[in-house]
Structure 1
Amino acid sequence: MVAVTKLYDGLMQRQSVKSWIYVLLGSIVLSAGFVLFMNPYKIVPGGVYGTGIVLHSLFPSIQVGTFGLMLDIPLLLIGFKVFGRMFGAKTIFSALLIPAVMNGMTYLIGENPSLMFGGNMDLSQDMFLPCIFGGVMIGTGTGLIIKSHATSGGTDIIAMLLTHYAKFRFSRAILLVDSTIVIFGMIVLGDWRLPLYSLVTIFVASKVIDYIVDGASYDKLLFIVSDRREEIREFILEKMGRGGTYIKSSGMYTSQEREMIFVVVSRNEVSMIRSMIHEIDPASFVVIVDAHETFGDGFKPFPESRK
């Protein structure tokens, strides 16, 4: 148990440093995606910064990042009030860093980056290109932030409130909030093509986010074969607070009988348990597969039967 605790503490320290680097890089990449591809072409991919793009068109003297910060601060305060410690230092850091980086980039390169390099950055003749490039950068930045167990704040908090009080599914809540912002942008900017551009950006960003955070499903199944299964068991039970199952198994070649660990974790926990298994037993055999739905203690409740 002592050895597992030491390994766990060392791993947590390394992951803590790595997670702050992820937040920093993610915030910068996300900001660049907006400044280079969203803001100049008035593409509104939802979120507080999508709202900021619309408001900036009405009040050009105020930058998009500033509008984002103005919207983020009350949302963070509400989030703290309702959810408490779920909103940690990394979320606050990201929510403050993104508007600062966005405004700094805008100051350095100007409000129209399409004029950079003698106009070679101008993509106005093919609007799907900024949608794709911007979606990739926003998805990469958001994925890195989520991978560090943080959020960039914003409309995620509104979606969490809808989930908490109105019992919406989180994915539906996000869709509702972002759709409202896109429609608001279409009305203000007067471009009926805006929902199409926004849809392409949101789709690309969501796929990149899924890839960055290691898979599209919310949960993962792990099958673990190791000669040091008791140490792995202690880590799963004591440090992760998860349960698991021993499955009797035998090797096809050696016919040696051993117990295989079967455990289900959230996708945010995959990197942690994978790193810890490698620390405990680098020679272990691990299979990770998607779990599209997981019901039971610690996961989703069983859906109510329809009459």
Structure 2
Amino acid sequence: MRNIVSIIVGSVIVALAFNLFLIPHQILSSGLGGIAMMLGIITPINTGILNFLLNLPLLIIGVLKLGKQFICYTILSVVVLSVSLYVIPVEAISTDQFLSCLFGGVISGLGVAIIFRASGSSGGFDILAMLLTKKRDFPLGTLLSVMNAIVVVISGFIFDWNSALLTLVGIYAAGKVIDTIHTSHIKLTLLIVTKKGEEVKSELLANLYRGITIIDGEGAYSGNKQKVLMTVITRYQLAEVKAILNKVDQNAFVNITQTTEVIGFFHRG
């Protein structure tokens, strides 16, 4: 319930940043939200409707391909954000473009960070990048950077290069706030020793967007056959893992260590 409330609050905060600071000055956010904002500015269609329509195909694919809990939280975020963009009036708080860009970036970054901390996502390019990295060995961060760069370039051609540069500043400010609040660099490695390996594996795969390695184990003293599940999670997912283990196997032995670095595909959200 706490995660659901956080995602709702974070999504409304993002909508406030868009409609009160960025859209009135033709400044875009990063990702698919930025494309929805651009189309909302140059067409009579509301940005909230466009945001939902652009995300809808990715959400449908995500339901089939990504972790159940992650995609459910993402769907909630997209719906709340789209409705909020539709309901909240587009009205400039400040007449200064740069201040609007800076505060819009900071406030939207705050909202996105709250969503990330609740193990969700605001949709858009995050889902697309994760789907692509499952098919090809591309670094997730590089993919997101390229996609956001495309938004900036399109902004320059559609509006003007001053707006494009302000969009870049806004994206940078949002990223800094997200990095400060959502410490996604803190990762944990879990070694779970359990007699209910299949049940634990199924629950983890259904609720977390994480890979799992399974190793056959044997108790040195008892000689009992057990499964050892190894996975890397973010710090904020630890509570979810504990809840799953409490439900499936309260006798599981879990070793939790902080991970310095992960090489290879690892969803940062």
- TM over 0.5, shorter chain: yes
Select which of 78, 103, 111 maps to 1:141: 111
Residue deviations 1:20-55, cap 9 Å, x none? 111111011011010111110111122222112211
Cross-structure match for 1:104: 87
Q: Partners in 2 of 1:161 and 1:274 — Cα distance?
A: 27
Deviation at 1:220, TM superposition (A): 5.3
Question: What amino acid sits opposite 1:184 in the alignment?
Answer: I
Cα gap change, 1:265 to 1:57, in 2 (>3 Å): closer
Q: Whose radius of gyration is greater, 1 or 2?
A: 1
4+ residue stretches of structure 1 with deviation over 6 A?
Answer: 237-243, 271-275
How many residues align structurally? 225
Cross-structure match for 2:140: 170
Residue deviations 1:233-254, cap 9 Å, x none? 99xx9898899xxxxxxxxxxx
Cα gap change, 1:20 to 1:86, in 2 (>3 Å): closer
Question: What amino acid sits opposite 1:202 in the alignment?
Answer: I
Question: TM-score w.r.t. structure 1 length?
Answer: 0.63
Cα gap change, 1:194 to 1:267, in 2 (>3 Å): farther
Select which of 57, 63, 66 maps to 1:83: 66
Cross-structure match for 2:126: 156
Asked if residue 204 in structure 1 is aligned to residue 190 in structure 2, the reply is no
- Alpha-carbon RMSD across the aligned residues, in angstroms, is 3.3
Residues 49 and 65, structure 1, Cα contact 8 Å, conserved in 2: no
Q: Partners in 1 of 2:4 and 2:175 — Cα distance?
A: 22
Asked if residue 180 in structure 1 is aligned to residue 164 in structure 2, the reply is no
Q: Partners in 2 of 1:83 and 1:221 — Cα distance?
A: 21
Cross-structure match for 1:57: 41
Q: Partners in 2 of 1:271 and 1:85 — Cα distance?
A: 16
Select which of 231, 236, 242 maps to 1:268: 236
What's the secondary structure of 1:153's corresponding residue? coil
What's the secondary structure of 1:88's corresponding residue? helix
Unaligned segments of structure 2, at least 5 residues:
205-211, 215-230, 244-256
Deviation at 1:87, TM superposition (A): 4.4
